[in-house]
């Protein structure tokens, strides 16, 4: 069974009769989910989708019974996202669930009335999605992935793990406000840590390959990836290059480390996606998004891959390893 079949089976599962909310003859409520994936069936996004669907089912919202769940899978190309938004709006859903800025920003440009729940926005106030975290003030609310200050922690962590680091390449999307801001925060602390910052573009695979190759010409270099759909779309390439050039890397979520990256520090997006189901449930019952405060992560997970550290010839500080929430050996 592939991931989409699994998600469909979860969504169509029958729960005990007391959980069903719709009476016979009532119109099923419609929830649309807008996902922007660079690679099809990306487990990072499919896992979040499965968590959301499962949580909705546990709240009594069953696709095919009292719920019509419509999933829109787009690439990160703006034109394609706008096309899906046009189709989405035509269907007049009761609630739309988005991810981060790649999908939330263009949807908010298209509608100021349709309820939106975002699951992984970076700095939603700065991005203009909401007026404030406590009082969103519009038609959107949801869950913040992190604020930009977390970006500084990635460089600090790289320096703690490999104190000899004097140069760090930062892979980021310079066409998004999130990518620009994450890079700026990293750059703002670089001087105090004695590290030179080198930007690496994600316009295409060639840009990443050339950027990492240039970085690797210098001794004592490391790698950091900013978060964003366009960056994540090159995950396998980034990890391959980091291994090829023996560059220690710090990443924004654990999926990199699970697939061979050195270390990650960030929130669990699957956890946020599951929590988002509660907001969808409350909106379907009549609560307005403006009355639901944006929730911030209460925990960031530090994941370390000791197998990768060994392959890189690194002896990681015991004090840092002891702080890890999970260690891959």
Going residue by residue through the chain, which has 329 residues, state the pLDDT in tens, using 9 for 90 and above: 554 554 455 444 433 333 344 444 578 999 999 998 766 667 777 888 899 999 999 999 999 999 999 999 998 889 999 999 999 999 999 999 999 888 999 999 999 999 999 998 888 998 899 999 999 999 999 999 888 889 999 999 999 999 999 999 999 999 888 889 999 999 999 999 999 999 999 989 999 999 999 999 999 999 999 988 889 889 999 999 999 999 999 999 888 999 999 999 998 878 888 899 999 999 999 999 999 999 998 889 999 999 999 999 999 999 999 999 999 98
Kindly state whether residues 45 and 158 are assigned to the same domain.
Answer: no
| C-alpha–C-alpha distance, residues 93 and 321, integer Å | 46
Helix (H, G, I), strand (E, B) or coil at 304: strand
Q: How many Å separate Cα 285 from the centre of its chain? A: 27
Nearest Cα residue to 69 out of 132, 135, 7, 146 = 7
Kindly state whether residues 190 and 320 are assigned to the same domain.
Answer: yes
Kindly state whether residues 70 and 48 are assigned to the same domain.
Answer: yes
For residue 140, give Cα distances in angstroms to 37, 73, 166, 293.
Answer: 22, 20, 42, 10
Kindly state whether residues 134 and 112 are assigned to the same domain.
Answer: yes
108 located within any domain: yes
Which range of residues forms the domain containing residue 199? Answer: 150-266+301-328
Q: Hey, CA dihedral for 288, 293, 297, 298, is it positive or negative?
A: negative
281 located within any domain: yes
Strands 95-98 and 196-200: unpaired
User: In a 10 Å sphere around its CB, with 0-12 CB exposed, 13-18 middle and 19+ buried, how is residue 313 labelled?
Assistant: exposed
Kindly state whether residues 244 and 187 are assigned to the same domain.
Answer: yes
Kindly state whether residues 175 and 280 are assigned to the same domain.
Answer: no
| C-alpha–C-alpha distance, residues 28 and 11, integer Å | 14
Kindly state whether residues 97 and 23 are assigned to the same domain.
Answer: yes
Tokens read off for 120: 């992984």
Kindly state whether residues 175 and 314 are assigned to the same domain.
Answer: yes
296 located within any domain: no
| C-alpha–C-alpha distance, residues 108 and 104, integer Å | 6
Kindly state whether residues 242 and 204 are assigned to the same domain.
Answer: yes
Which residues fall within 8 angstroms of residue 77, CB to CB, at 6 or more apart?
A: none
202 located within any domain: yes
Nearest Cα residue to 284 out of 24, 98, 95 = 95
72 located within any domain: yes
64 located within any domain: yes
CATH of the domain at 210: 3.40.50.2300
pLDDT value at position 229?
81
pLDDT value at position 5?
52
Q: Which single residue is written with the structure tokens 């169509």? A: 12
Kindly state whether residues 322 and 184 are assigned to the same domain.
Answer: yes
48 located within any domain: yes
Kindly state whether residues 17 and 126 are assigned to the same domain.
Answer: yes
| C-alpha–C-alpha distance, residues 17 and 212, integer Å | 56
195-198 contact pairs (CB < 8 A, 24+): 195/155, 195/158, 195/159, 195/165, 195/166, 195/167, 195/168, 196/166, 196/167, 196/168, 197/167, 197/168, 197/170, 198/167, 198/168, 198/169, 198/170
Kindly state whether residues 185 and 49 are assigned to the same domain.
Answer: no
Q: How many domains does the chain have?
A: 2
193 located within any domain: yes
């Amino acid at each position: 069974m592939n991931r989409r079949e699994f998600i469909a089976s979860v969504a169509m599962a029958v729960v005990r009769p007391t959980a069903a909310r719709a009476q016979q003859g009532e119109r099923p409520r419609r929830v649309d989910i807008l996902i922007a994936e660079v690679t099809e069936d990306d487990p990072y996004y499919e896992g979040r989708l499965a968590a959301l669907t499962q949580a909705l089912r546990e709240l009594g919202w069953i696709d095919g019974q009292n719920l019509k769940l419509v999933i829109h899978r787009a690439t990160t190309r703006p034109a394609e996202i706008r096309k899906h938004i046009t189709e989405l709006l035509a269907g007049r859903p009761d609630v739309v669930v988005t991810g981060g800025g790649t999908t939330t920003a263009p949807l908010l440009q298209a509608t100021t009335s349709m309820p939106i729940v975002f699951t992984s926005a970076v700095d939603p106030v700065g991005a203009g999605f909401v007026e404030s975290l406590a009082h969103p003030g519009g038609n959107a609310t949801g869950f913040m992935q992190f604020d930009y200050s977390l970006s500084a922690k990635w460089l600090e962590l790289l320096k703690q793990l490999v104190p000899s680091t004097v140069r760090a390449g930062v892979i980021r999307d310079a066409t998004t406000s999130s990518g620009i801001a994450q890079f700026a925060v990293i750059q703002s602390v670089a001087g105090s840590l004695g590290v030179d910052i080198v930007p690496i573009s994600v316009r295409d695979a060639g840009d990443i390959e050339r950027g990492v190759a240039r970085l690797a010409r210098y001794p004592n270099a490391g790698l950091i990836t900013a978060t964003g759909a366009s960056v994540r779309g090159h995950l396998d390439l980034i990890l391959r290059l980091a291994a090829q050039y023996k560059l220690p890397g710090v990443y924004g979520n654990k999926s990199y480390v699970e697939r061979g990256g050195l270390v990650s520090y960030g929130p669990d997006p699957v956890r946020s996606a599951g929590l988002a189901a509660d907001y969808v449930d409350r909106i379907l019952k009549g609560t307005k998004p403006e009355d639901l405060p944006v929730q911030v992560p209460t925990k960031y997970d530090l994941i370390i891959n000791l197998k990768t550290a060994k392959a890189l010839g690194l002896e990681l500080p015991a004090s840092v390893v002891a702080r890890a929430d999970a260690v891959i050996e």
